[in-house]
Structure 1
């Protein structure tokens, strides 16, 4: 019987206790239906010693939520898993670089369109004021380069003071008005094949599309432009990905831009998948057989 481990949050981190168990159950249902035995284990248990993970045919880090709260520990874990040869997907090397959003700048250098971004080692009020002056944007988004779930993400207007400023390196971008009107669209790929897409919109007056902030999720069929950009992103990454969630939005000119390439612990929204996770199960079987 195939043994699969799913990495889950640190048991002392209560931030996600209301959500990760239901995501785990969806994944277990899909994988057990494909003939696997699924074991959940906190990622923080295996930071310095990966020996327990070597017993599994495959390790999936897809609910390793909270890694951004201790990024140094996450990078140490990725190094440990790589050195030990843990059969983990996505690869531990990908889990490392994808945890810092500066990867968006590297993808932009390869021709992937992203929102105009100012990178700073520590966002200050002066940085924000200068960004308003240089971009001409009426509203800015400021967030840490290591973050998840809108953690310490700010939407600021000119003259508005920062509160809970990002701790450490940050990114500053013009706020895309389409987030409020059209939302963000996530395209899910398993084994390099498109599976399904979900549109995520914030509640009125908010800009955060995450479920914990009341985000409204709908299954959609992406247009040709969104699909083409998602495939361009995957081609630019060019690594053996078991899964990928490509988050896109429209800029003020109406063109699709990359917001995130979620390769660590994205929710696959299997409850919005018309195939009920069949594509994911197929990709896992293929990876196990490789």
Structure 2
């Protein structure tokens, strides 16, 4: 029986304490019927030592939620796991690259369509004041490049008190994006890939009028779609074609512009929720991809 380890948040991190145990149970419900033995352990236990990790056939960092709050330790852990040759999926080099949203610059330069974005080393009053004109919008989104789950993400308008906004602005490297109002109406669409093949598609919408965050902790509503909307699969495949790494899983998040064109929001390759609650049948497809990966390593 193959042994799997799912890495979870630090035990003293309260950020997702009410959420990740449920996601872990859904993963177990998907993997155990396929004959896997599934254990779980905080990723923070393996920053300076890999004792106990060598016995696993595959290590899944699917619940390392909150790693961005201890980014230095996260990077150290990835370097250690890589040096020890541990069977981590996705590969450690992918996890390291995808942990900083600066990766989006490379995808944009490669021609992947996305919302107009400015990258800054530290958000300043001048950055915010100039962003509205440079991006051609009256509303922007500001988020840290090292973050997840809308952490420290702000929506600002041209008329806002920008000096006051700086007190809540991200500290350190950040991205300023043109706000896409379609998030409030059409939401965001995620295409989930297991072993390189499309598994399922989920639409995510804000839970209340005026809200722009689609995460479940902000009331987001998720619904499985019978198939990828027209044009969405082509964008997802364009994104995936940029990677040389052999990905066990990928979640490609996108939305539409006012003109109806699909644009990339994120390529989630570290710790994406698979939204198995919206499409429970997808769990079996993930289990099959895991088995195929282990068979290749044997």
Structure-2-length-normalised TM-score? 0.95
Query: Is the contact between residue 196 and residue 274 of structure 1 (CA under 8 Å) also seen in structure 2?
Result: no
Match of 2:222 in 1: 217
Match of 1:232 in 2: 238
Distance 2:247 2:136 in 1: 38
Aligned residues: 290
Corresponding position: 1:182 with 2:197: no
Of the structure 1 ranges 128-137 and 180-189, higher mean CA displacement relative to structure 2 is found in 128-137
Give CA-to-partner distance per residue, 1:137-167, whole Å, 9 cap, x none: 0100011000111001000001312141101
Distance 2:142 2:244 in 1: 29
Give CA-to-partner distance per residue, 1:211-238, whole Å, 9 cap, x none: 0000011111222300110011111123
Identify unmatched segments of 5+ residues in structure 1: none
Corresponding position: 1:194 with 2:198: yes
Secondary structure in structure 1 of the residue aligned to 2:59: strand
Match of 2:101 in 1: 101
Corresponding position: 1:165 with 2:169: yes
Give CA-to-partner distance per residue, 1:86-110, whole Å, 9 cap, x none: 1000001111110000101111111
Match of 1:144 in 2: 144
**Over the residues paired in the alignment, what is the CA RMSD in angstroms?**
1.0
**What pairs up with 1:1-290 in 2 under 5 angstroms?**
1-160=1-160, 161=162, 162=165, 163-202=167-206, 203-220=208-225, 221-273=227-279, 275-290=281-296
Query: Is the contact between residue 200 and residue 282 of structure 2 (CA under 8 Å) also seen in structure 1?
Result: no
Query: Is the contact between residue 140 and residue 173 of structure 1 (CA under 8 Å) also seen in structure 2?
Result: yes
Structure-1-length-normalised TM-score? 0.98
Q: Deviating runs (4+, > 3 A) in structure 1?
A: none
Shift of 1:136: 2.2
Distance 2:135 2:277 in 1: 39
Distance 2:51 2:117 in 1: 41
Give CA-to-partner distance per residue, 1:245-287, whole Å, 9 cap, x none: 0000112221101100000111001122252411101100000
Give CA-to-partner distance per residue, 1:68-101, whole Å, 9 cap, x none: 1011111111101100111000001111110000
Secondary structure in structure 1 of the residue aligned to 2:15: helix
Distance 2:82 2:70 in 1: 19
Structure 1 residues 274 and 40, CA, compared in 2 at 3 Å: closer, same or farther?
A: closer
Give CA-to-partner distance per residue, 1:113-147, whole Å, 9 cap, x none: 11111000001121010111222201000110001
Structure 1 residues 159 and 126, CA, compared in 2 at 3 Å: closer, same or farther?
A: farther
